[in-house]
Structure 1
């Protein structure tokens, strides 16, 4: 009886041993079939209600979401660009060089500075060549030795006399001997007839526009003291001819030496 029980026990042990060895061999075969990297991965614990990694559903991206995001990006770019374009622009201050320059016209030169001024050191007022034509004239200034005043004078080339001699010229002060009127050299014979009423004009004359007195450059007048002065009065109420200016000719230059 005991032998039977022992035999049964031995048989059971042999069966368990056989089952255990089969189970180990099965696991070994499974491990040899897995890649080396998967052999040492620990298995995640199975939690009820939670799916494993392999059971995650892969959801495809929605095209509508991409479209909306693209439109939002475009709108943002347009908005920022519009704000940048409409921003207030500060005008840069113009530099000194870029500021418009207002041109102020320079004052016209004094005509008197363009005329010759006869002095003791330089008495020349004209050349013989420029006074070659009869009845030609030229204005000039000469300093009065007594008053220091610059006197405006006029040089006239007479149709008589040699151009190389002082007798071929007449120079006189343009201010009337009495009063403040300026004498004028009138070459327009019609002006002498109409403005001065002098009908006998045959050549240029000197006139006083204030008194309508006419002086003849070709005639001499005898002044008190037996002094002869050119420019005899042929019409008018003035008391004497114009104040004369002494002229000399040296070479090709005409000099104004002294005022009366």
Structure 2
């Protein structure tokens, strides 16, 4: 019986030793603080947004170099959606005139692909199988269609659009965005 009491006493004392002790909470000013990094800014908020009140998207001086480019947003007047666009400085035309630029919607005309401005001619050759490029092109990575910024395409209704298809199966060039130059400002007026 004494052995049984000794075993029970050991179990009781062992259970008390293993039981968690009560911890009194620390005051708020004594608790360790965790540094939480601020979320990264939304990249779309860093790009210019062309609106009716402020259509400016770039300056002539920042777009002076041929084949330079700049992303921007413009609001679609029909549905209110923000359209991601790209402004490209063409090597032809004066930088003080709209004919020296091409702006287009970065979403492919059909489907959900994002068009890409390809300045690396090796990428055009390797990723798109297009080796005839002598200057930057625009590509649709989903259909491997290549658009030439220097060529115009005749659409139904005798409408001319920049960015003729030089390879691929897409049905039309990228949707255009009308550009105006006023003084030193480049304005995005409206999307197609």
TM-score (ref. length: structure 2): 0.86
RMSD: 6.8
Could you list the per-position Cα deviations for residues 163-206 of structure 1 after superposition, in whole angstroms to 9, with x for gaps in the alignment? 00000000000011111111000001000000100010110000
Q: CA deviation at 1:89?
A: 15
**1:222-233 mapped onto 2 (5 Å cutoff):** 222-233=154-165
| Whole-Å separation in 2 of the counterparts to 1:97 and 1:121 | 49
Could you say if the C-alpha distance between residues 95 and 213 of structure 1 is closer, same or farther in structure 2, counting changes exceeding 3 Å? same
Gaps of 5+ in 2: none
What runs of 5+ residues in structure 1 fail to find an aligned partner? 1-67
Q: 1: CA distance between counterparts of 2:122 and 2:136?
A: 10
SS at match of 1:161: coil
- Residues 1:88 and 1:152: Cα distance change in structure 2 (over 3 Å): closer
Q: Quote how far apart the aligned CAs of 1:70 are.
A: 47
Q: Give the 4+ runs in structure 1 shifted more than 6 A.
A: 68-83, 85-93
Q: Structure 1: how far apart are the matches of 2:106 and 2:14?
A: 82
Larger of the two Rg values belongs to structure: 1
Which residue among 134, 137, 140 is the counterpart of 1:208?
140
Deviation for aligned residue 1:97: 2.2
Greater relative contact order (Cα < 8 A, sep 6+): 2
Give 1:245's aligned residue: 177
Which SS does the other structure have where 2:45 is aligned? helix
Comparing both structures, which one devotes a greater share of its residues to strand?
A: 2
Q: 2:52 — aligned with what? A: 120
Change (3 A) 1:256 1:86: closer
Deviation of 1:98 (Å): 2.8
